[in-house]
Structure 1
């Protein structure tokens, strides 16, 4: 069946009105459990961050059955730089494609993106693909299908820690943890129950959501006040997440949890459940209650909730922090990948940043020094930490 699907004729096109395919788009994002690929994430990001960018949403359809959507790539571009929409606030990106058709989708979409941005003339496109699965086959297919030669360089690498839940009970999860973990969680949880009125509250009231998000931001800021500052301190990022949280709550995805002691929120968890994948995005707690480990107790509670809701995977999202590794049982390697012409200043900066010299062999020796000079003159910068 898959083999026959791969031989089908497909048609790719850039959409003037991406909202016109929201239902099919949403369904495909839900099927892979990725909030960062939903039309809701796209819409919230465009509202708060996309003012100086243009959408390049490419739809791929079955040429013989145009009503059948086979895939979608939600890109945006500023000038000639192409990125996934939401790249600065999202943790994992990929093309959306029907099972077995990812290669066909990206192969047909590449030329459309190039046409929109200007990939075949002097004004060549530069693709910065943030937080994609490292070594994913579609990256090579996309580069090979691009009209013109692209050098591909990994700039940043990280991991997405995950916990597999399928078929596990809460007792199974606890049994899989270390004795120290079980002891620490059990003692902290029992102490809270003994000394306080302990309540786990999930935000589910649209009328109260704005106030709940403000409480979450306060706790997240408090957690990071002595650790370099909160990533959610800016007005724009808070407006984005409040907007996204409202859209997610409407869809039934939002999982905004509070641990309350005697009626006072002392820890918060901000994430979502989409398509069998329960995700942890940000958290916070009141440092005054730090010795009680409210963050640990709340995170464990959300894992129990994920199991009870039938989630198959619990994603701790981007970052290899030790506390995430206490919960995870696997790590998905991710990378930020730059695709650009071999003489593009971004390629040379990427090579210098990553320490990879693979592209150098494709460039004549006589132009290397001029390319390095161009990098400095252009002031090209590459992605660093997420700017949530």
Structure 2
């Protein structure tokens, strides 16, 4: 356990900053206003928001011990946060202390990172990296997943830990397609740049002739119940034939999203789009607003309407709304599915940084993971492809039931 006394006020090279740690869920609850002000004044991504990480702690990982590093200036103003938590894993009969980002599992949190006042990213990242090194006897593995490849934090961690005896590894995680949106460009002009223009216009024209066709956009916190229920139903229907969704598995994750969407809506950060035909919801998109970007988080549709391309048309309408709202980027997050590349021309990547504390038990965790990977790789070589696929679907269904 890391003790508060071990985090004494630490002067930064540029300016005096106090470094401390928040270790209780009740303390996190009281950070909302200061956390929001810091996030709004930073370049950190959407999933570093209090509205995302606080419900994650409550609904997804209540057993994790929060350890949120925070930096304050002379006036007591919050200028930096590093939202971490402890997970304890048993390997060969001994506990391994794994320190990682809050929000790292189950909910698809891309671009996790240090939250620092804009212009002070390197200073704050270096301060936190130094603090983590000084406390290396309190953790075995520092596992930081899904940072942006170009994050200052990645560079600072490498510079800090490669000077020490700690073992550091860097690995690529996901490709995230996105599209810059030009201010002043019309939706029609944007469409002409995509490969989906003709199909989108044709399918939309047909849908518009159907009785009761409409698209509803929900943003108000008091109006989420019905469209969110439609979203969960359509998302589950979309993935049912594939063994269930990897993105939203089980009632615990659904409870998280009910909490998070409510909190995001209170901040004006949520957009739920629902396509209806004849009074029936046939497609849904769950989106997040973050500064000047639209974040396409998840979607769903009724497979009975697949041949009418309801998903394609609804995605097109979210692009239209983003452009007409004056947003400057549309981000599909992780995944290289073909429907994403049809709308986008750019990609960014996420990476993971793993550091093993010298003399700790982290190497045993690594060995176990490597052994499990070897077993999976052998199974893929030995089993017929259709059997591998059946096993994968069975695991998805089992995970959904556990959730």
Q: Same fold (TM over 0.5)?
A: yes
Deviations along 1:183-222, one digit per CA (max 9) or x if unpaired, are 1000000000123332110124544423322211110011
Q: 1:329 to 1:354 in 2, by over 3 A?
A: farther
Offset at 1:69? 2.7
2:77 is aligned with 1:68: yes
Corresponding residue for residue 179 of structure 2: 163
Residues 1:196 and 2:211 aligned together: yes
Note if contact 1:71-1:95 (Cα within 8 Å) is conserved in structure 2.
yes
CA distance in 1, matches of 2:122, 2:369: 26
- Residue 67 of structure 1: SS of its match in structure 2? coil
Cα pair 1:60 1:71 within 8 Å, conserved? yes
Q: Give 1:127 deviation, angstroms.
A: 1.3
2: CA distance between counterparts of 1:134 and 1:207?
Answer: 37
Per-residue deviation, 1:251? 1.3
Unaligned 5+ segments in structure 1 are 356-384
Q: Conserved in 2, the CA contact under 8 Å of 1:340 and 1:346?
A: no
Which shows bigger deviation, 93-102 or 23-32? 23-32
Q: TM-score, normalised by structure 1?
A: 0.81
Matched, 1:102 2:121: yes
Please report how far the alpha carbon of residue 150 of structure 1 lies from its aligned counterpart in structure 2 after TM superposition: 2.4
Query: 1:226 maps to what in 2?
Result: 241
Measure, in 1, the Cα distance between the counterparts of 2:76 and 2:240. Answer: 51
Which residue matches 2:53?
Answer: 42
Name 1:382's counterpart in structure 2: none
The one of 5, 22, 46 aligned to 2:32: 22
Q: TM-score, normalised by structure 2?
A: 0.78
In angstroms, what is the RMSD of aligned CA positions? 2.8
Q: Which stretch shifts more, 210-219 or 133-142?
A: 133-142
Q: Deviations over 1:5-45 (max 9, x none)?
A: 98333332113523444223213334537321011111110
Change in Cα spacing, 1:22 to 1:133, as seen in structure 2 (3 Å) is same
Instruction: Please show how residues 5-20 of structure 1 align to structure 2 within 5 Å.
Output: 7-15=14-22, 17-20=27-30
| Contact 1:341-1:347 within 8 A present in 2 as well | no
1:188–1:293 CA contact under 8 A, matched in 2: yes
C-alpha displacement at 1:126, in angstroms? 0.9
| Structure 2 equivalent of residue 267 of structure 1 | 283
Q: Mapping of 1:1-388 within 5 angstroms?
A: 7-15=14-22, 17-30=27-40, 31-32=42-43, 34-62=45-73, 65-79=74-88, 80-88=97-105, 89=107, 90-113=109-132, 119-120=136-137, 124-134=139-149, 136-145=151-160, 149-167=165-183, 168-178=185-195, 181-231=196-246, 232-341=248-357, 344-347=363-366
> Per-residue deviation at 1:144?
4.3
Give the match for residue 375 of structure 1: none
Give me the whole-angstrom Cα distance separating, in 2, the residues matched to 1:351 and 1:236. Answer: 29
Secondary structure in 2 aligned to 1:188? helix
Deviations 1:303-361 (A, max 9, x none): 11111222121110111111111112211111223221467234556788999xxxxxx
What is the CA–CA distance in structure 1 between the aligned matches of 2:70 and 2:114, rounded to whole Å? 11
* Shift of residue 141, structure 1, vs aligned partner: 1.7
Residues 73-95 of structure 1: CA deviation (Å, up to 9, x unaligned): 11111232111111112122111
CA distance in 2, matches of 1:136, 1:37: 14
Query: For 1:136 and 1:157, how far apart are their aligned partners in 2?
Result: 14
Aligned length: 347
> Counterpart of 2:377?
none
Gaps of 5+ in 2: 1-11, 89-96, 375-395
Kindly indicate whether the alpha-carbon contact (under 8 Å) linking 2:172 and 2:349 is maintained by their aligned counterparts in 1.
no
Question: For the Cα contact (< 8 Å) 1:26–1:39, is it kept in 2?
Answer: yes
Which deviates the most, 291-300 or 340-349?
340-349
